[in-house]
Structure 1
Amino acid sequence: MYRFQIAVSPGSKALSWFCCQDPSLGVFPQFFVSTAVEKPSNKFVSFSRTRGVFGIGAAFCTKTPFCSVSADHRR
């Protein structure tokens, strides 16, 4: 399995994105990259559910005869 990830630095913007995720979709994290500049606002923050980790990432798995990954290298 290969995983590519772009880390999102902790901060008020990352927390705002994290808290605005739609819990009905059931897959986290769901981030969208934007160049828009927003003024910070006081939004309702609820930590009653586990949401996942901060970051943007994707994973895919390929099965080929010439590539093998041992259990020691998986995370």
Structure 2
Amino acid sequence: MSTVALPARPGRAELDPLLAEHAPRRIVVHGSDADLAAVLLRLLRTERLDVEVAYVARARRSDAVAAWG
């Protein structure tokens, strides 16, 4: 298992090379709802919908956590 720190709201330039190199089966996103959305968008656009995603919200109030509990 490897850990990679990324900037807030990572985009194609940051995520796509990592997804290609590591081909992860699981990803843990620790950040804001926007960070989670950015990662999910890249997984969707690169057709990696088989990757499991865990989310650790950085803020106390998170719409994603409220929606998915």
TM-score bracket relative to the smaller structure: under 0.3
- Give the structure with the larger strand fraction: 2
- Give the structure with the larger helix fraction: 2
Q: Which has the higher contact order (CA 8 A, sep 6+)?
A: 1
After TM superposition, the score normalised by the length of structure 2 is 0.24
